[in-house]
Structure 1
Amino acid sequence: MVYLDHAATTPMRPEAIEAMTAALAVVGNPSSIHSAGQQAKRLLEESRERVAATLGVDGIEVVFTGNGTEAVNLAIKGLWWQRRTASAGDAAAGAARRRIVVPAGEHHATLDTVDWLVEHEGADVVEIPLDAVGRLRLDVLERELDDASTIALVTMLWANNEVGTIQPVEEVARLTARAGVPLHVDAIAAYGQVPIDVRSLRRSTEAPRGAGLVALSVSAHKIGGPAGIGALVLDRSAAVEPLIHGGGQQRKVRSGTQDVAAAAAFAAAAESVAARLDDDAERMAALRDRVIDGVLEAVPSARLSGDAGPGASVRLPGNVHFSFPGCEGDSLLFLLDAAGVAVSTGSACQAGVPEPSHVLMAMGRTEADARGALRITLGHTSTDADVDAFLAALPAAHAQAARAGLAARATSFDR
């Protein structure tokens, strides 16, 4: 199998497997005060510090979670509840903070969390439109922040997980800092592909306490660590209401016994990625561009999605996203899978339910475009041979998918 779905999950790195295997032999609850417990705690906290170093934060600011989705939920719900639960002298201000500002085309971890707050907590959503390449409209965001007293938080992706467009994070962090509003960034798709330095970003945007970039979500399995562990970076100045109550571990933000072995593997993967970030990004970008050129040569009608402008700062180095007119993306996916090539039509977090890409729809594309989407993503194990295999399999898969698509439309017209 040629694996080109690294945005869904990427193979565990050898360093992470080795670290996890060794840590599984460590006995002891890190909350216990005896020597076995303290040995586990030492390994856990060293792992936390190592992950923190790759993100430009202190260890105390890293809260381990069960996955990236939990980190996103904790950030958005936690900030919402905290901002709404004001002190007695500021009750009116807290009651006024009902709005959550969200760009269109976000990951469903964000969209579904916000929808839950609308349905159950009375939140109001302000949607910031995207431009044609999937980048949020800064001018619209700036206008919304003029009425900052009614905003609970702003949440956004660092880079779009489907089309790969990198968002203007620094500009948004600066605007939210100036407005005194907390910002959460979902960096799950970006972590391991672009440099992330939270401390420098907060410093450069002159963020006051509790405002600007205060929360950032990442996940281990996107960078070659294990599934089942993520992290929320939470600035020292930020407060959130917890989702889970119990023993008060991790700053009373997330209670529960922590997975020491997973944390150790996460740390090993994070350090491995950080050590070779520039080289890997350059290598993946070269493979990405080969894919783009090859697809356009094989299927001239294919339409590249996301930012294709010059420079390395506009698109994730491992992301290629095309729509194929006249084809169903699902048909292409299954035909390529039968040929031994694994790709996707978009996010893997939709429980296997095929539907038009909401990201492309938010970018102003037609439903036909949104249904004909295919995402090819590269990672640390990707090679030129993988690209060759994909490009060799694509023409036949496209021809068959196009015939199936035309037949399906003809049948619907007959009815």
Structure 2
Amino acid sequence: MTEPAVVARLTREITSDLKPGDLEDFYRDLHRHPELSFREHRTAAKLAGRLRAAGYEVTEGVARTGVVGVLANGDGPVVWLRGDMDALPVPEATGLPYTSTVDGVMHACGHDLHVTWLAAAAGMLAAARDTWSGTLVVVGQPAEEFGGGAAAMVADGVHERFPRPDVLFGQHVAPGLAGFFPHTPGLTLSASDDIDVVVHGVGGHGSRPESTVDPVVTAAYIVTRLQTVVSREVAAGEWAVLTVGRFHAGTQSNIIPAEARLSLNVRTRDTRVRERVLTAIRRVVEGECAAAGCPVPPGVTVVAGCPSTVNDPVLDDEIAAVHRELFGEHTVFDFGQVMGSEDFSLLAPAGVPYDYWYVTSTPAAVWEAAPGEEPAEKFAHVPGNHSPLFAPDPSVLVPGVRTLVSAALSRLGALRA
């Protein structure tokens, strides 16, 4: 690894001509035109165009809408930089002048920032190829929100079709007073599983419930009973979150439907807890359906999932040191383990170290106006990821480029000290 002071100096030199106005124009354009998972055609084309203009060999359509750019620059390690591209089915309520133009769809998780950072960092590193040696691979990943994008890229041969990484880097915009770069060595993000449940009943007229098996009532019991899985089956010192995010049944008030559908999400940190919770969900669903006399067993399907994100501790310490040198000692701290999840780690082949950090983005005025005196109190009251009010401060555009550039330079062979 190149010394942090050298990396910081090179990063400042390389990014000295970054134009915040150009970055903001690109970012605002992406924000106005959000695209859902596996539909990121316009976003992918924008990223691909930037990479081609910078001299990368670009492949589009990886896992349907993914983009991979490769810049070979002599002998040295292979460094992957990843940014996710998809938006969320959230109606925007920020009131920004560059608000989403797509009804019901918004970049509520900040992936428009991620693409902007990735494209700009790739361009800066390409323009400064006389300072480093190795191969840079830039990955625009689809469908992080859907939960299947990274797995789809791996299934589409991303590790065989492109230079295999020696190290993988990624970052995420986060709530918190803008200007900080939290790092967590080791476990940083939880595992996530989505489960679809179908309760099969017997439909009929609302005036004659005795002639039916009501899947709505059965599903309601399932929802209630599932609340005990974490509170009564997971030890107090362990971590799990179980959410029923969707309950759909019926078409009209006087019709008892023939089925009800639930969508669940589970977050866990430990593989044993993960297995126990998933087993308990299946047991509860099957038990309630049997108790209700459902004519056929329920459907319980794990439709998507990703493992915990566990940063390589040594690598994370090294990149954190680079970011401290670049932005100041006080700007980097341990964010701690959170229950949020990412499929980022799936892009790292077995044994390949990776590091994933955060860029805080809450505007100072919003932060100061939030109730509370302590940061933890304010953090709980500012709009976060997935909120219809999530509006990162554009001041993080340049720093978010520099975090990626500096991480890449820390591992690529230095040609100029």
* TM-score class normalised by the smaller sequence: under 0.3
More relative contact order, 1 or 2 (CA 8 Å, 6+ apart): 2
Larger Rg, first or second structure (1 or 2): 2
Higher helix share: 1
What TM-score, normalized to structure 1? 0.24
